[in-house]
Structure 1
Amino acid sequence: MLSISILSKINILVLDWRQKARAPVNKPKTNTDQRRQKILVHAINFAPELIGCAKYTTELCQFLAAQGHNVEVVTAPPHYPGWVVRSPYRSWVYKREAFGPIQITRCPMVMKAGAHGFWRLLAPLSFAVAAAPIVTWRVFRFRPDVILCVEPTLFSVPIALIAAKLVRARSVLHVQDLEVDAAFEVGHLSGAGIRKIANHLERRLLDSFDQIVTISEKMREALLIKGLRSANVIVIRNWVNLDMICPLPRDLNAFRRFFGFSDQDFIVLYAGHVGVKQGLDVVLKAARRLAVRQAIHFIIVGDGPMLGELKQEFADIENVAYLPLQPNDQLSELLAMADLHVLPQLPGAADLVLPSKLGGMLASARLIAATAAPGTEIFNILQGVAILSAPGDDEGLAQSILSAHSRDFSANIARGLAVAETLSSARLLPNFERLLVGQTNASQNKGERFAKLANP
């Protein structure tokens, strides 16, 4: 258990971080000297989905609209996580709605809860087919200057490219997930021949965009290995809103009170998607190992296709409790419940995605225990910040949790807050805006300039 002196150290560094976070930031100028533009966004995920790609696509669109741009979105019914459409939405209908100043058209999608196997292909493919006529209609009525397509899903890419050609719009792809590689690594797809064909088609499609943005250096390297032009692929990391998620005191936390935890209880928290790539079973195996430690409690907050299976497999563990996803306005309070955040990941998917939950963990001023292999992006970012153990090693993760319970890691937390500042939405969203609407056609020097802007 953390001592009073350690807690005092953490409070001091949090106060110092708050002062820095609230200090004036030399924000890059937005587009005040540029023409307001029409931007059409084609993405399978959008609000009211709370996590994953939807969070970042929604926040980007809100920011662009706040800068005076005219933004429209073509998307699916909200279904993530779990691949289940919840009331009042329906999966089989087209729907037009407003999200503040943003106009949204939702398109049908065929899906089955969990979307395992064949359904994992059919669901996004059906959305892409249903959305294609809407994208075509909107480009002729809306006449966008920019078309932004978000991967996943790759199935949306062809119509986005065609639409951009039809109206001579700038085409930008936001790669949140190396979808093809991940599908083979986690077992959704298999076969060397199929993979070769998929990789060839992927490269041809991606190379047709004017600009590609991805979220990690390792993902950029993977895209370049596929044969894409270096100047066309830049990194803008997923951001965190430091006004929304900030360090909050451990005592009097509403979630700790809800569970009846005392000051002596040590809370290990996982909050996010519960799918194959997350490899959450290693956390529950570690919880089983630590079941005799009565002061250590595990809280799993989230949803996803693996949740039911994991609950059933680990039903015997009494030191684990579950909560559904919480609203965004409760996220900072939720993260403050933790004494330790856990960040597991399936070994084969380590550099094919970058967990979107990372920024919130860092900004909450709590320690992180992550499973990451040396040389991976997560390892490089969190070295000296988190307690690291090998992917899939539940014994190693259990030892990390015991270390966090007994030792002073306030210096690691301070370094984590410094990393969170580099991921601030106040820094990164203006860079994304300039990339979308600025004169950034691919050339080596321009690509390098935006790479520097994207990673302050």
Structure 2
Amino acid sequence: MRILIYGINYDPELTGIGKYTSQMAEWLAGSNHEVSMITGMPYYPEWKVNEAYRGKLWHTERKGGVRIYRSPLYVPKKINTPKRILHEFSFLLGLLPIWLFTLCQRKYDIVMYVSPPFHLGMWPYLYAKLRGAKFVTHVQDPQVDAAKDLGMIKSAGLLKWMFRIENFILKSSDAVSTISPGMLKKIEKKGIPSSKISVIFNSVDTNSIFPLLKEQSLAREFDLSLDDKVILYSGNIGEKQGLEYLIEASKRFRDRPEVKFVIVGSGAFKEKLLALSQQEHCSNVLFFPLQPNEKLSELMAMADVHLVLQKQQASDLLMPSKLSTILAAGGCPIVSAVPDTSLYKIIDENRLGIVVKPECVDTLCEGIETALTSDLKVYKLNARRFAENYLRTEAIMDKFENNLIKIVRSPASIKRELVDENNLEISN
């Protein structure tokens, strides 16, 4: 198949949506499909254009068997809602020359766009209509729902307009995929037929990310003792995570110098979090930059327990991408999730970690104390087994590839292939 993928985030971004889109595109290219990617200059999660791409405008390259078309975009130094909207629209408009070239020169079997941003789907929708390609939407993050539920956009009129565009794109798609059962249910409630929707979990390469001993970790490189109890948060430092509660929790462990809260990552909220940590004199909170993919196993092995935090309103909107890496490394996560959400069920029913109430310092501290004083062997064994059984790149991408083939060959027979939550059990 000739496949065109379109999204704002892509390699060499080390975390978030770009990481998984890159894995998807390169796997498809490695499976004898012709794959092209339309994207912007890499900037995430630092919100700064990658040094290797600064000063470039429209740019074409090839990597991992994928032809990559890049366009310039506005990247604000300080993030707020108006600047984020301007950032996304600058990308939408900057791509016009690339889309005109693509429309005139190339015919693809499938054009797939990765959301968010939600409104980017207009370009691939037009291409699919004019060139007769199949149009697929892959939802990594329900952006409009999150903007409403987290209070990021308060204008009822603007939200109504955003929901209308999102609904038009979803209903116009030949197929829709998303990354969790909870997000699938959200899409169904928007009036999208269940026959068009499938769940494709974010995959993890279990061959390159695997359990290691703490002695093999980055602990010494980070100037930590092997006797330290490390509470690790690694990933995007954004508003949705509620990381201010981590700072509050750290204050209750000040009298235990062996307990270290380690934050590895970058993002729009990092400066505020650093300032809050300094303001509260949290010397037991340490910040480090993102680590390259080849060091992820060593990074994960440094932790006694991992934090996967989200605000309450986002706990069934998002499936944290960092979770798959933690599970592959055989880590024990403390996950903030609301009961009856898909995230809560997956963690609780499979005994993958400790679930705590979102935005609650008391239960977070209780979870940390439980983790530090318990034998976590069962959780860690279950975590690795779950990753091997359900999140392995080969299994996830085989399913995704088969879905794409069905869309191209017999669109009327597209079937929903949702992983049954009741089958996500692992014997202990």
TM-score band, normalised by the shorter chain? over 0.9
Code of the residue aligned with 1:337 in structure 2: it is: M
Question: In structure 1, what is the Cα distance between the partners aligned to 2:274 and 2:62?
Answer: 38
Q: Match of 1:296?
A: 259
Question: 1:78–1:420: structure 2 CA closer, same or farther, 3 Å change rule?
Answer: same
Tell me what 1:3 maps to.
none
Q: Is the 8 A contact 1:219 1:353 kept in 2?
A: yes
Q: Give the aligned residue type for 2:393.
A: S
Structure 2 match to 1:388: 355
Instruction: Give how far 1:41 is off.
Output: 0.9
User: What aligned pairs does 1:371-410 form with structure 2 within 5 A after superposition?
Assistant: 371-383=336-348, 384-410=351-377
Please say if 1:279 is aligned against 2:242.
yes
Does residue 428 of the first structure (1) align with residue 396 of the second (2)? yes
Whether the 8 Å contact between 2:134 and 2:407 is mirrored in structure 1 is: no
Secondary structure class of the residue paired with 1:177: coil
Question: Which residue number in structure 2 is paired with residue 341 of structure 1?
Answer: 306
Q: Counterpart in 2 of 1:356? A: 321
Q: In structure 2, do the counterparts of structure 1 residues 51 and 91 end up closer, same or farther at CA, with 3 Å as the change threshold?
A: farther
- Could you tell me the percent identity over the aligned residues? 33
Deviation string, structure 1 residues 402-429 (Cα, Å, up to 9, x no partner): 1111111212222222221211112101
Inter-partner Cα distance in structure 1 for 2:129 and 2:399: 25
Matches within 5 A, 1:146-225: 146-225=110-189
Where does 1:428-447 land on structure 2 (aligned, <5 Å)? 428-439=396-407, 441=410, 443=412, 446-447=414-415
Q: Kindly state the Cα deviation for residue 377 of structure 1 after the two structures are TM-superposed.
A: 2.1
* Alignment coverage as a number of residue pairs: 417
C-alpha offsets along residues 320-342 of structure 1, whole Å, 9 cap, x if unaligned?
A: 11111111111111111111001
Q: Do the aligned residues in 2 keep the contact of 1:77 with 1:109 (CA within 8 Å)?
A: yes
Q: How does 1:263-274 map to 2 (within 5 A)?
A: 263-274=226-237
Indicate whether 1:118 and 2:82 are aligned: yes
Partners of 1:91 and 1:109 within 8 A in 2:
no
SS of the residue corresponding to residue 141 of structure 2 reads coil
Q: 1:244 & 1:259 partners in 2: Cα distance?
A: 22
Name the amino acid aligned to 2:315. A
The structural deviation recorded for 1:90 is 2.8
Rounded to whole Å, the distance in 1 between the matches of 2:65 and 2:221 is 37
In structure 1, what is the Cα distance between the partners aligned to 2:55 and 2:301? 35
Distance 1:416 1:353 in 2: 19
Residue aligning to 2:292: 327
Distance 1:377 1:132, change over 3 A: farther
- 2: CA distance between counterparts of 1:113 and 1:381? 37
CA offset at residue 442 of structure 1? Answer: 5.1
Q: 1:414 aligns with which of 381, 385, 401?
A: 381
Q: 1:363 to 1:189 in 2, by over 3 A?
A: same
Residue equivalent to 1:366:
331
Counterpart of 2:106, as a letter, is: F
Name the SS for the 2:154 alignment partner.
coil
Q: Secondary structure at the match of 2:272?
A: helix
- Give the aligned partner of residue 18 of structure 2: 54
Shift in Å at residue 376 of structure 1? Answer: 1.8
CA contact (8 A) 1:92 1:109 kept: no
CA 452–296 in structure 1, closer or farther in 2 if over 3 Å, else same? closer
> How big is each residue's C-alpha offset from its partner over 1:115-165, in whole Å with a ceiling of 9 and x where there is no partner?
312011111111011113312321331211110110011221011010011
Question: Cα distance, 1:92 vs. partner?
Answer: 6.6
Q: Tell me if the contact between 1:232 and 1:442 (Cα under 8 Å) persists in the aligned partners.
A: no
**Gap regions ≥5 residues in structure 2:** none
**C-alpha distance in 1 between matches for 2:89 and 2:55:** 14
Deviation at 1:298, TM superposition (A): 1.1
Higher mean alpha-carbon deviation, 55-64 vs 367-376, is at 367-376
Please give the alpha-carbon distance, in whole angstroms, between the structure 2 residues aligned to 1:289 and 1:159: 51
Query: Residue type matched to 2:304 in 1?
Result: D
Q: Distance in 2 between matches of 1:439 and 1:99?
A: 26
Query: What is the correspondence of 1:64-83 to structure 2 with a 5 Å cutoff?
Result: 64-83=28-47
- Provide, for residues 245-288 of structure 1, a one-character-per-residue CA deviation record: whole Å limited to 9, x for no partner: 101111242x1112333332111110000001111111121111
Residue 115 of structure 1 contacts residue 123 of structure 1 at CA under 8 Å; is this kept in 2? no
Counterpart residue identity of residue 400, structure 1 = G
The alpha carbon displacement at 1:188 in A equals 2.6
Pair 1:106-2:70 in alignment = yes
CA contact (8 A) 1:146 1:437 kept: no
Q: Which residue of 2 aligns with 1:21?
A: none
Query: Does the 8 Å contact 1:146/1:171 carry over to 2?
Result: yes
- The answer on whether the counterparts of 1:286 and 1:397 sit within 8 Å (CA) in structure 2 is yes
Is 1:120–1:188's contact at 8 Å kept on the other side of the alignment?
Answer: no
> Aligned partners of 1:202 and 1:333: how far apart in 2?
40
- Whether the 8 Å contact between 2:196 and 2:414 is mirrored in structure 1 is no
Report the Cα distance in structure 2 between the residues aligned to 1:363 and 1:242, rounded to whole angstroms: 6
Tell me the equivalent position of 1:88.
Answer: 52
Q: Shift in Å at residue 229 of structure 1?
A: 1.2
Q: Which has the higher contact order (CA 8 A, sep 6+)?
A: 1
